[in-house]
Each structure stands twice: as C-alpha cells, then as structure tokens.
Chain A
C-alpha cells in the first residue's frame, strides 16, 4: 500500500511538473515561424534560397525533437520587395496564421517599414538580408524599435570593407559609382567614398551614375563611367540586374581597358550571380578585375561546420547555399536558442535572450550586439575565379579577410573605423 501511495504521489508530481511547465511557458503544441522574401522577378532566387535555408533548419530541428519538444511549422510569403506588401504579409502571418516569430526580408526599405510595426504585432523579427545601416543605427538604436534584429551584415560590408581592401592599391587613383538608386546603393557608396578618402585623400571621384530599381539597360551608365576612365567602379545593382549590368560592361569592352583595374560588385558573391557569371569568368572576360563580397561565403571559413552545412544543403537542394539561405538558417537557430533559454514565447523575454547572444552560424559564431541588435561577424571580399576542381560555378578566391571589428561602425558613437 505504501509503495502504491509512493507511485501515485510521484506520478502526480511528474504529471503536474510536465503540465505546469507547458502551461507556465504558454508554449503551443506547434511553434509557427513566418518568413518573407522576394520570390518573384529578377531577384527571386534570394527568396527561394531563404526557403531552402529555412526548410533545412526546420527539418533538422524537428528531427532532433523540435523546440522544447514542440514541432516547428514554417510558412513563407513573397514580399515583392514592396513595403506595403511586406507589411500586409507580416500582419497576416501574425494575426491570421499565428506566427510566433518572423524572419527573412531582402530589402532595406522593407526592413525599415517593418521594424516600427513589430512592437504592435508583439513578435520578434530577424532580418536576414536587407542591409541599410539605418535599421540598426536609427530605428533600433536611436528610436528603440527593439523587436527587430539583424543576423546579416549591414552596408558596412558593402561600403567600408571594400575601402579597406583597396586603400593600399597605388594603381587606384580614380573611383566611380554605379549605384542602385535607393537607400542601399546610396549608403554603400557614401561609406565607401568617405572611408577611402580618409585613408587616401588623393583619390578622386570622377563619375557617379545610378540606376533605378528593375533597370534593364545599363549601357548609358556604363558609357558615362567609361568616359571618365575610373580605376575602380563600385556597383550596387544586385541579382539579375547586376548580372545584366556586368554582361553589358563586357560587351562595351570595359574590362579590356588598361586604365581600368577593379570592379567591386558589392553583393556579387551571391550564388545566383556566381552561377550566372560562370561562363564569362571561365572565358576570362573579366580579366581578373571582378571583385565582390557577400553576407556569407560558402567557401569561407574552411571549417568542418561550414563544410557540413554546404554538403547538407547541396545534398538536399542540389545547389550551393547563398547567404540568404545561411542567414535564415542561422536566424531560426537563434530563435530556437532564445526560446530554449527563456522557455517561453514572451516577446520581451526573447528580446532579452537574443541581446548579446552568441549563435553558431555555418561560418562560425555571430554575436548579436545588444545596443543595436546587429549580428557581428566577418565576411571576406575576394576576386572571381573559376576552377572546376573546386566548384562547378565561378567563386570568390584571393580572399581578403578583415575582422568585423575593423569595419563595423561601433555604437554609441558610430564613428568610422
């Protein structure tokens, strides 16, 4: 009888513990995560890569028992790169579908539109691509929209890093821009010009051109640049537009000009561009002058963790992972870590948990800076090469690795490095 009583009491406490934990934490049976990115148009591959990265993370998490025993369910929507559409999507995902967490976002403008509505939606948003520094410096740090985080590098990568990479090149004396005519393009060029001039006051800006969103014919811009004969061009149009622009530059003979030394394609290290550029890199049409960076590179660092991620990704999807895939993958794991730490889906507790978190990404540790919710990590710049024994696509080699501490602006003063 005594034994029976003991079993009953233990069972009661066991059941009470299990149910009370679940009840107290308010965790639903299924944790829903809602993503959005560009799924249509010439930049659609970025959104599709986000879906792949998310699917891989969700599959891994569910196969290993979910988040605190809860299965993860994912829904992904097309933001069309439009703030109005993305806002509508975010409201739908949270209010109608019941998302516990939001991630994705390819555009700076969209990230700036969503950050202010996240407190109202009472959810965490982790931006995985949109790069404007205004998000972390102004909206999050200064205005205090603290529901939003960014797991990917900001425009410091596109503006400050290339300035540091090329500041010691004595053959570069004149520079020019071919900017995407929106925040990302202007911000990147502004940072590049200011940083480079700080180290090299002798550098001259000889031309500035720009192209609106969804531009198709870059020959007028390229001709204007060629007329000014710059040694270096910094270009920000990305995705399909970037690809077309580079092809048109080849046809105009830009890369054959002896005075022309470097084309820096800010997000040119992305997989869609690498795949598209392969025939021209293979044929030597860039004459070794095409440089780029990205927000993650599949071939750096050469660590077992990164290699395993790339191998898993290739096995599942038959392609190399782009940065949008790796960043979404990392964002979902950051969210998982925060939920496991707090044992809760309470937004304020999750914000506290994410602030200062060190999360393991495929390319290593990323530290989420508490003051501006910006993930800090290093991504190199490199020159495009082709070697089929390494990769079926063109890829970035001759990597210049500068630690993020050297080129990230540093709050609260946000001085240039």
Chain B
C-alpha cells in the first residue's frame, strides 16, 4: 500500500507540470479560440530564460522565475499582437499552420541562442534533500511542485470568479460579439488572455529546470501529453484541465509500478474511452 501511495504522490507531482501547460493551453483556447500548438515552445523558452538567469547569470532562483515570466510575457504579447490577432476569424487550419511555424521558429532560435546542448541547472540549495513520506524519501522539490500547481489552480479560480477582469474574460469566452457590444475591449482582453496563457507555460518551464532536461525540442515533447490532458478534461475547461492532468499523471505513475509495459498505451486508451463516451471531454461543453 505504501508503494501505491508513494507512486500516486509522484504521479500528482508529474501531473502539476502537465496542469501548468494545459492550463495555458485552455486559457488560450477558451478565451481567444486559439489552438496554440506552439504553447509547448513557450514552456521551453521559459525554461531557457530561467536557466540563463539562475545558472548562467547567478540571479536568485525566485527572481529568475519572475524574469523568465516577464520575458515570455513579452514574447506572448508580440505573438498575439502581430500574428494571432489576424487569424481569430480564420479557419482552424490557419491557426495550426501558424502555430506550427512558431514551433519551428522557436526550436531554431533556441539552437542559435543557447546552442544544442541540454540544460540542467543545479537544484537551489533550499530545495535539496527529501522528506519522509510513508517511510521513504520524497524530494522536497517535488512536494513544492505539488503545492505550486495547487496554488496556481486556486489563483486561476480566484481570478476568473472573483475579479472584474475574470468576469470579462468569461463573458468574452461565452459570446465575443455580445461582450464587445456592452463595451468590453475585446482586442486588449484577448492580448491579456494570451499573455496570461504564455505566463502559465513559462511558469511550467521555469519550474521544471532543476529536475527536467530542457533542450531545443522539448516544446514539441510536452505539448502532446498536454493536449491529451485538455482533450480528456474538455477543451476550454480549466477544471477539466486540472482533473485531466491528475488522471494522466497518477494513472501513468501507477501503471509504471504495476503495468510498466502498457503505460503509454493506457494514456491513449483513457483518451479514446473519454472521446467515445463523452466527446466534449469530462468537463467540456458541447459546441
């Protein structure tokens, strides 16, 4: 039983990374209607920025994360303002082509700027070590990631439900034309929403650097499970993204313990079953 509990905890830790990426993907899709396959690239750039500030320039870990968020936020602004704004009303194929082009651009830019070597910074000293969980050492950093993921979830819930800006976002997501008609500045709101989505991706990337490899191809690698999560949870649903991430993270982790040779298969099986029974995802709405 202790193995099960420990493995489930590992799964929750993995799920939080998925959640951070999937949350941004969900915000971009839910509010702006953009299916941003380059979202993983923003995760990657966030990781590279955090690595540069923390490991290469020796800046404080927390400040490095904030600077990485600012950097990716600026990139998100430029992407939305000069590219995505032009395709909001275009068919989804245009979005896919444009966002896929961004994957290639970011992959090559990171190769040019940071080279092709992988990056693995040192663990900040205050996160080194482990705490005992069911009699076994559980890394402090993984525990921190769980709390960070939950904190982001609570923050998002509060923003969307308890602030005027959040209500405007929900209004715009629900009916863009009506929101525009009652005086909400949709272009600015969409820009803000896209930047917010980019920040979530960057946060995931920045927090991943001490324990995960980052390289110029990682954006494409992280986006696939994030899409699985959003499809299971329901496209555009933050609650769905959170639950989907937990399902994928924990099931994957438990399968590694008990059914290691079908771990990957199980993830896609879950997605297939959800799509058959509830095509809009667990918390998605029929469109």
Contacts and interface: CB of A to CB of B under 8 A. Distances in A.
What class of interface size applies to chain B in its complex with A? Answer: 35 or more
Nearest to A226: B136
Contacts, number: 113
Contacts of A256: 137
A243 interface: yes
A40 B216 contact: yes
Nearest to A80: B217
A336 B3 CA distance: 57
Interface in B72-125: 107, 111, 116-118, 120, 122-123
B139 A251 contact: yes
Contacts of A208: 260-261
A366 B104 CA distance: 42
Given A44-B215, A251-B141, A220 B252 contact: yes
B212 A243 contact: no
A210 B265 CA distance: 13
Contact of A42 (B139, B213, B261): B213
Contacts of B138: 252
A270 to B, nearest CB: 13
B11 A220 contact: yes
Given A240-B120, A243-B120, A253-B130, A224 B7 contact: yes
A22 B118 CA distance: 47
Interface residues of A, number: 36
A241 B213 contact: yes
A280 B287 CA distance: 53
A252 B137 contact: yes
A244 B120 contact: yes
A41 B116 contact: yes
A208 to B, nearest CB: 6
Contacts of B211: 217, 244, 247-248, 251
B29 to A, nearest CB: 24
A253 B122 CA distance: 17
B254 to A, nearest CB: 8
Interface in B235-276: 252-253, 256-257, 260-261, 263-264
A247 B208 CA distance: 13
B18 to A, nearest CB: 10
B6 interface: yes
A214 B264 CA distance: 13
A239 B13 CA distance: 24
A47 B117 CA distance: 11
B54 to A, nearest CB: 15
Contacts of A216: 208, 212-213, 218, 221-222
A134 B212 CA distance: 32
Interface string A17-46: 000000000000000000000011111110
Contacts of B6: 223, 227
Given A209-B256, A223-B6, A223-B7, A40 B137 contact: no
A220 B212 contact: no
Contact of A223 (B116, B208, B221, B257): B257
Interface in A185-241: 208-210, 212, 214, 216-217, 219-221, 223-224, 226-227, 239-241
A245 to B, nearest CB: 9
A403 interface: no
B36 interface: no
A135 B217 CA distance: 28
A212 B117 CA distance: 20
Contacts of B49: none
Contacts of B19: none
A226 B3 CA distance: 9
A279 interface: yes
Contacts of B256: 209, 220-221, 223-224
Chain B, interface SS category: helix
Most buried by A among B7, B117, B260, B264: B260
A266 to B, nearest CB: 18
B142 interface: yes
B137 A253 contact: yes
B261 A210 contact: yes
Contacts of A243: 118, 120, 213
Contacts of A224: 3, 7, 256-257, 260
Contact of A220 (B136, B139, B217, B257): B257
A41 B120 contact: no
B139 A252 contact: yes
B14 interface: yes
B118 A240 contact: yes
A276 interface: yes
Contacts of B222: 216
Interface in B128-145: 130, 136-139, 141-142
Interface string B7-31: 1001101100100000000000000
Given A210-B261, A253-B137, A219 B117 contact: no
Contact of A227 (B116, B215, B218, B257): B257
A239 B117 CA distance: 10
A154 B261 CA distance: 25
Contacts of B136: 226, 253
A48 interface: yes
B33 to A, nearest CB: 30
A38 B208 CA distance: 24
A212 B264 CA distance: 9
A41 B217 contact: yes
Contacts of B123: 251
Contacts of A42: 118, 213, 215, 217
A251 B257 CA distance: 19
Nearest to B264: A212
B160 to A, nearest CB: 29
Nearest to A48: B116
Interface in B194-236: 208, 211-213, 215-218, 221-222
6 contacts: A44-B215, A224-B257, A226-B136, A240-B120, A243-B213, A251-B139
The 10 closest A-B pairs by CB, nearest first: A44-B116, A240-B118, A253-B137, A220-B256, A251-B139, A220-B253, A42-B118, A227-B3, A224-B257, A216-B212
Interface of A: 39-45, 47-48, 208-210, 212, 214, 216-217, 219-221, 223-224, 226-227, 239-241, 243-244, 247-248, 251-253, 256, 276, 279
